[in-house]
Amino acid sequence: MDDTSRLQPGQRLQRGVARFLRDLGHASLLEFVPAPGLRVDVISISPKGEIWIVECKSCRADFTGDRKWQGYLEWSDRYYWACDTAFPAELLPEDTGMMLGDAYGAEIVRESPLTPLAGARRNRLTRDIARTAALRLQTAIDPMGVLQSGPGGR
Amino acid sequence: MDDTSRLQPGQRLQRGVARFLRDLGHASLLEFVPAPGLRVDVISISPKGEIWIVECKSCRADFTGDRKWQGYLEWSDRYYWACDTAFPAELLPEDTGMMLGDAYGAEIVRESPLTPLAGARRNRLTRDIARTAALRLQTAIDPMGVLQSGPGGR
């Protein structure tokens, strides 16, 4: 029931981050596409509607090979990196937030600055998170319905 | 894989309605609580953010025993009933929408009037749908995490 060996290192971090965010009262979604060509590891919504993005980096190469992360900043109110204790933390830009974590949880070791989304973008993003989560949930509970009706949805 | 015998009549309708809504491009969520004391059978969000509520009625008693439905009208842009062909359709108020359906699908037989939500309510409702769907999805993919951290979330 709690076998993490089938998960990749980045997926283990995603799981721990999502557990931590849930304890904070956030609802989170993995592998979300805020705009074409972008895909974030974890996006979450707080009870008051604040939106966080957390990118999970399992090793130096995973970070240095990422050419897209600055494009994620404009899609959240707060932006964090998540990595494990072996990660060279000095690589991470100082004006971004940071979490340390593993497959079982995470904690914030550096707060992210708050850069509030404009209203229209927040509304669009919240709607897209709602639709993505609801469609994935429907696929989970009624897989045959999705198979029969084709991709649709978006 | 497609055994509907374990579902109650109302649940069969819910499933068919959700399949139909998905074909229309809506993302839907079952058993959603828009406000304390209210619980709607199906709520959905269209690609443009329009919010529909669909109440599924399996028989006359199911409808006549419902004292809450008028409270649902103010939580959607459009409101529909869904029932099967055996349902006495003349019971349903004429100024509400109507779908006919079964466990496999549904169709609109009477359009609902459009009564647009105010902006603040739409935003709150969309955020709550996003959070509810994401938390349920997280529970589905990481049940042990939820068990360990307790209810939290809402």
What pLDDT does A23 receive? 96
| Residue in B29, B44, B149 nearest the CB of A19 | B149
Q: Which position has the higher pLDDT, A80 or A153? A: A80
Shortest Cα distance, chain A CAs vs residue B57, angstroms: 20
What pLDDT score does B66 carry?
Answer: 85
Measure CB to CB from residue B145 to each of A15, A49, A154 and give the nearest one.
A15
- Residue A17 pLDDT greater than 50, yes or no: yes
Nearest to B128 by CA among B46, B51, B15, B48: B51
The strand pair at A97-102 and B51-56 is best described as unpaired
Looking at residue A38, what DSSP letter applies?
-
* pLDDT at res. A152: 46
Q: Do B19 and A142 touch (CB under 8 A)?
A: yes
CB nearest to A138's CB, from B18, B49, B127? B18
And the tokens for A38?
């972008």
Cβ-defined contact of B19 to A148 (cutoff 8 Å): yes
Model pLDDT, residue B116: 97
By Cβ distance, the residue of A2, A132, A149 closest to B144 is A2
- Interface residues of B toward A, Cβ cutoff 8 Å, are 1-2, 15, 18-19, 22-23, 25, 27-29, 44-45, 47, 49, 123, 126-127, 129-138, 140-146, 148-149, 152-154
Where are chain A's structural domains?
9-142
Q: What is the mean pLDDT of residues A68-74?
A: 91
Tally of residues, chain B: 154
Q: Could you give the dihedral angle defined by the CA atoms of residues A35, A40, A46 and A49, in that order, rounded to the nearest 10 degrees?
A: -10
3-state secondary structure (DSSP) of residue A78 = strand
CB contact under 8 A, A152 and B18: no
- Whether residues A49 and B2 touch (CB distance < 8 A) is answered with no
Inter-chain touch A154–B47, beta carbons under 8 Å: yes
Across the interface, whether the CB atoms of A138 and B22 are under 8 A apart is answered yes
Residue A24, pLDDT above cutoff 90:
yes
pLDDT for B2: 61
Which pLDDT band, with edges at 50, 70 and 90, does B154 fall under?
very low
pLDDT of residue A90: 92
- Identify the DSSP state of A96: S
Q: How far is A108 from chain B (nearest CA, A)?
A: 17
CA distance readout (Å), A125 to A13, A20, A43: 24, 22, 10
Choose the mutation target among A1, A3, A11, A19 for the interface with B, i.e. most B CBs under 10 Å: A19
In this prediction, what percent of chain B has a pLDDT beyond 70?
A: 94
- Chain-wide mean pLDDT for chain A? 92
Q: Is the pTM of this model over 0.95?
A: no
DSSP B50: -
Prediction ipTM score: 0.92
Residue A8, CA distances (Å) to A30, A56, A66, A111, B113 in order: 14, 11, 17, 26, 50
Please give the Cα distance from A98 to A82 (Å, whole number): 6
Picking from A15, A127, A139, A148 by the largest number of B CB atoms within 10 A of its own CB, the best residue to mutate is A127
Q: What is the pLDDT of residues B39-90, one digit of tens each?
A: 999 999 999 999 999 999 999 998 888 888 889 999 999 999 999 999 999 9
Radius of gyration of chain A from its Cα atoms, rounded to whole angstroms: 16
Q: pLDDT value at position B152?
A: 46
Q: What is the pLDDT of residues B79-99, one digit of tens each?
A: 999 999 999 999 999 999 999
Contact (CB<8Å) A146/B25: no
Average pLDDT over residues A56-62: 91
Q: Which residues contact residue B92 at a Cβ distance below 8 angstroms, ignoring those fewer than 6 apart?
A: B63, B81, B83, B98
Residue B67: its pLDDT value, please? 84
Count the Cβ atoms, other than its own, within 10 Å of residue B9: 17
Q: For residue B9, list its beta bridge partners.
A: none
| CA-based nearest distance A65→chain B, Å | 28
